[in-house]
Amino acid sequence: MTTLRERIGNAGIDLGRAEPMVRDGWYRVDGEVVTDLDAETAEGSRVNVVPPPVTEHGA
């Protein structure tokens, strides 16, 4: 098993930029939101970045 941190680093993504996105729930492992860079990921699992939905304010 490897951590999400290792997977992101191995993909060449800057961890400083990725960390707040992970905390805010942008990263998913096999469809499940992961908010901890040190969460373990299984070999062959799929990691995606999914931005939160945009909502309108005001109106």
Residue 53 phi/psi, 5-degree rounding, is -65, 145
pLDDT given for residue 58 in this prediction: 59
pLDDT given for residue 59 in this prediction: 53
pTM of the model: 0.84
8 A C-beta contact, residue 38 and residue 4: yes
Which pLDDT tens digits describe the chain residue by residue (59 residues)?
Answer: 999 999 999 999 999 999 999 999 999 999 999 999 999 999 999 999 999 888 877 55
- The architecture of the domain spanning 2-49 is Roll (3.10)
3-state SS of 1-59 is: CEEHHHHHHHCCCCHHHHHHHHHCCCEEECCEECCCCCCEECCCCCEEECCCCCCCCCC
- The CA dihedral of 38, 13, 31, 36, to the nearest 10 degrees, is 20
pLDDT given for residue 36 in this prediction: 97
